[in-house]
Structure 1
Amino acid sequence: MRYWNQELWRLAGLVIVLGLAGWVIDAPGFGIALGLAIYLAIHLQRLRSLYRWLTRHPHDEPPAASGIWGELFDKLYKYQKAQRITQKRLRDTLKRIQDSSEAMSDSVVMLDRRGDLEWWNSAAERMLGLKASHDRGQHITNLVRDPRFIDYLNTRDYQEPLTLTSPIDERRVLQFQITLYGDDERLLMARDITRLHRLEQMRRDFVANVSHELRTPLTVLAGYLETYIDNADQLPSRMARGLQQMQSQTLRMQNLVNDLLLLSRLEIDQRTDDSVPVDVGDMLEAIRNDAESLSGGHHHLSVDIDDVGALMGNEKELHSAISNLTVNAVRYAGEGCHITLRWRQYGDNACIEVEDDGEGIDPVHIPRLTERFYRVDKGRSTSTGGTGLGLAIVKHVLLRHDAHLEIDSHPGQGACFRCVFPPERVTPAQSIPRIQEA
């Protein structure tokens, strides 16, 4: 501000002096005009120096000047110097980020808001076949053309990763994960999980093969035990109790083998291709009748059906999933509890709920309930005859039907297991085929 006031006083002094000189010769206007012209010429010269400095030698020291121009040159030079330091720091940071990304074994691809390729590391070239010479600026779907990846990119729901084969090597399995950042830009990461995929496939094959091989000897054992028990009066009395326990454990092993085989099949076939309209009301009534037989009158079971429509899916698999949830409620909710099977609208979706007012579950266990053989209370679960695979089967059945499982529970407040289905899985009830009576 001090230099600005000085400049105003300098202009006023020049105009007054030359105006008085012009008044002496009877031409005050000429003197004032001459003063303004001199002042303008000085500032044009300073402006020319500023322009030459910024365009030709911006990194050199600024031109020598005094007053407001000297202050302006000094501030511009300090600002440029600070900007150069900031830019260098940013370049160094960007280089470190790029170097660290280059050192990663996972692919890293930066996409703009339209999905066009901006930058990628060398791992992306090996896994995805990207070439810097001609792929920069291409849309990612021009290079990764799998329909599942295109749906994953467009749905913008990136909570779960996507597993696909590599677009350049079918023997390699990749796991894709997208993260949103900045101005709706996306960071795509791809991880090679070929080894894990093979190990998982070996595990599935091992479980399926062993379970299949165990089925025959267990059937033989069960048959002989049933024969011995039917003729128990011909055997020593002390063997009767042992036969009953052997039959109980054989039955438990048969149930375990059957659940393992079912789970293996569900894991291998991720989607169901035999969807038909399922009357959920009839299915829930059948499950309730079976659960009442298991309960033996120790629980109150009811069915609540809203006018939602029919559910498109595999009726056998859906029956198995909801039956597992209901049997769990009968086994673990506690005697005298009320269990409700419900089919209703749930926001824009539809859901089947199995709700009880029993003992409830500590929320700390909920994230792990769908793991194989995970038990909240191991002693009680063993005594009830459960295999520990029921909720894992439920999870995979729902995945095959584009659905998911939600669990709400607290100790002493009961539990609600909610199977949420997308709206495209629901059809009008009139679409269910009916057998006409004669």
Structure 2
Amino acid sequence: MKTIKFSIKVKAIDSYIYGGHLFLILKDGRIAYTELSKVIRKLVDSYPDFENLIRLSFQRNDYLSNRQGLMILGVGELKNVLMKLWERATNEIEFTIDFDIDDFEIISEIPSMPVLDMRLYAMRMYLGCKEGLYEINLNPQDNYHLKPSKPELRFDAKITHLNAKSGEVIISANSEGLFHGSFLNEKNKLEVIAKPVAKKSIRTGWSSYDVINYEEHNNFEYFVNETESIDNKPKYSKFDEQSVRRRITEFGKSKYGMGQLMEHSNLRAEDVSYCFNSSTSGFFFTKDGQFININLNKENKQDLYFTSRNHILPNLEKSKKLFTRPVSSSIVPKGCVIEYFDKVALYHNGKAKIIENSPSINVRSYPSSIRYRNLITITKDEEISIHSIYPFDEAPIKLTFDDFDFENIFN
């Protein structure tokens, strides 16, 4: 089944959904945001017959997967009705909103362009720029209305990727290294440790409270972090993000190389062309065109390893032609989103489908979000698209080479 999708015509370089708001980095260098409910209201006004489905899909899709929702959908007739309504919506909703600056609040102009990555976490916005890392406090007066501060420089390096969890912000600065910092301090501002913990980092991924650092697209190092429980849990996650009762006390207490972790697997590290991870497993594109998911054994942190059983995921059929390598990857419940040079594909519940047929600037998912974990935002040259993932299981299919434009694919 297709995703339910709508688009906003706007010239932006990034988009992010957080805390009931949609944030945009506009091409003219301004940071803008609006309540997501305002955007959804325009969609509902045009498609009133789908109001409840629209609100379930884009505002509270956690209702489709929580205990109460699963009990209701356990009634076969109700599930069938929702499935048919979803199918109708994917065929009838082709909705595009024209960007209206009057609907948005402007936070500030970005001190340094371009923005290479952004992350919203703990009521803060972090912008990774060519000139450094900036922090914006979204809620300095501790109430339920956003009152963003102006951007403040927290770290001086070219930032290529950001991640955050458990009071830590993880910073990839490419050839300058991997850095991290915490805002759980007396100043309540991010303080970055100036000494890198790895010599190179192009991106990172979380594995529970541990961090996997990718030195290359096909090579990584696993950092085991020491944590402790928090008696008084911070209240910064009141809007949307799942909060945790642990904080990282020692980053990288021990570490494993990619070769070490793959000693028990049936995949050789030298055969990998691109890889990424979820909290419990690794995803590997191989040089011969396979897409493989392998579980990570973490019962004993002194003996971490990828298991010997490979789960082959739907992907391109084998051919003598060039196999594609992803541009980026994101995790969603029961699957992942892969950005290719000229398309975006969703791998979900054992099925693969193309959800965008043109190049993207970036693709985001929200696996740690309570309300938006089944949403995907895709920023393109002239618009952003927001997709809601079909919540039920489907039979698997394969993508073929005919789905991709190989004349424009790079090695």
Q: Per residue, is there more strand in 1 or in 2?
A: 2
Higher relative contact order (CA 8 A, sep 6+): 2
Q: TM-score if structure 2 supplies the norm length?
A: 0.21
Q: TM-score if structure 1 supplies the norm length?
A: 0.20
Larger Rg over CA atoms: 1
